[in-house]
Amino acid sequence: MVALQNPSVVGDILKSVTFYASFDSALKGDFGGGELNLSTRTNHKTEKGAFVFEKGFPAFRIAPGKGVSGGALEAVDVLPDNGRIFFPARGNISYKKGGWSGAFSVWINVDPDTQLKTGFCDPVQITENGAGNGGIWFDFNDARPNRNLRMGTFPAITDGMRPIQESREAFSPMVWVDKPGLKAGEWHHVVLVWRNFDTGKADGSAALYIDGKLMGEIRKDYPISMDWDLDKTGIYVAVNYIGLMDEMAFFNRALTDEEINVYYLDFFFSFTLTSVPSHS
């Protein structure tokens, strides 16, 4: 095994992990403070606006040896009835009313222009009430011939507040990456970072990184508050996604530019929770 290039930085990163899923041998989390098993949510067939929650995960499987490290989650089709798989958020993310920061990391292997079947696809979406109502996510939109990769951090809609539209306008809390150039067979590292959410002040910010490079930032003159009930909040994974995903992790603080670059560069050598005693 090749030695890590920056072991101290990697150690600091790993000490901040709140949830980790290697997808090496099972479709579940390896480490976390909450539920590690996936469940599936689908629309109720007869009650509008109601959902059905079930254990299990049809249309998803482990792809042995195909990951950036070991196995990977492979999504082979879109679930019916607007179905989506999720990890419960409680205990697995660092959300705290009154103010919190965090980060999320995942590796993806997909050609969004040829593999995806639906108009929109969210590789990861954390929310209670929807992407535009207290949601942190990144997605591929329906642009043709080349989809955009986008990050969104939409605050919860409170009484008297109008929903914020997804757009390129300055008021919208989004980062847009035009023609990201992702291809099947190539692994890319996506990191979302956020600071000072749910403080009630206009001091929140967020950033999107791909392969260690800063792609854009979100800074608004209004508070960014998720206002989640963690018992009703999910970490939704591979929503309408077809392709491979690997090495998913959440962190209890915002990672720095240096840490994200080290994370990307050193992962190809060795980057697992078992390398840190506090997570063994």
Is 133 contained in some domain? yes
pLDDT tens, 183-213?
999 999 999 999 999 999 999 999 999 999 9
Secondary structure of residue 166 in the 3-state scheme: coil
> Does any domain span residue 97?
yes
- Domains in the chain, number: 1
* 61 falls within a domain: yes
Q: What angle do helix axes 7-15 and 257-266 make, rounded to 10 degrees?
A: 110
Q: How many CA atoms lie within 13 A of 165 on its CB side?
A: 4
How far is 272 from 69, CA to CA, in rounded Å?
9
pLDDT in tens, 116-164: 999 999 999 999 999 999 999 999 999 999 999 999 999 999 988 899 9
Note down the domain range covering 208: 7-272
Task: Answer whether residue 278 is part of any domain.
Answer: no
Is residue 4's pLDDT more than 60?
no
Written as one letter, the residue type at 59 is A
Q: In terms of DSSP bridges, do strands 149-154 and 31-32 run parallel, antiparallel, or are they unpaired?
A: unpaired
**Structural domain includes residue 277:** no
Q: Does this model's pTM top 0.75?
A: yes
The CATH number for 220's domain is 2.60.120.200
Q: Is residue 81 part of a domain?
A: yes
DSSP-derived 3-state class of residue 205? strand
pLDDT at 274 over 70: no
- Check if the beta carbon of residue 126 is closer than 8 Å to that of residue 150: no
* Residues 41-76: b if buried by 16+ CB within 10 A, e if exposed: beeeeeeeeeeeeeeebebbebbeeebbbbbbbbbe
- % of residues, the chain, pLDDT over 70: 87
The pLDDT value recorded for residue 51 is 65
Residue with tokens 């992962």: 267
* 66-78: pLDDT as tens digits: 999 899 999 999 8
- Whole-angstrom distance, CA of residue 36 vs CA of residue 53: 16
Give dist(CA 128, CA 121) in Å, integer.
Answer: 18
Q: What is the pLDDT at residue 278?
A: 43
Q: Maximum Cα–Cα distance for the chain, whole Å?
A: 57
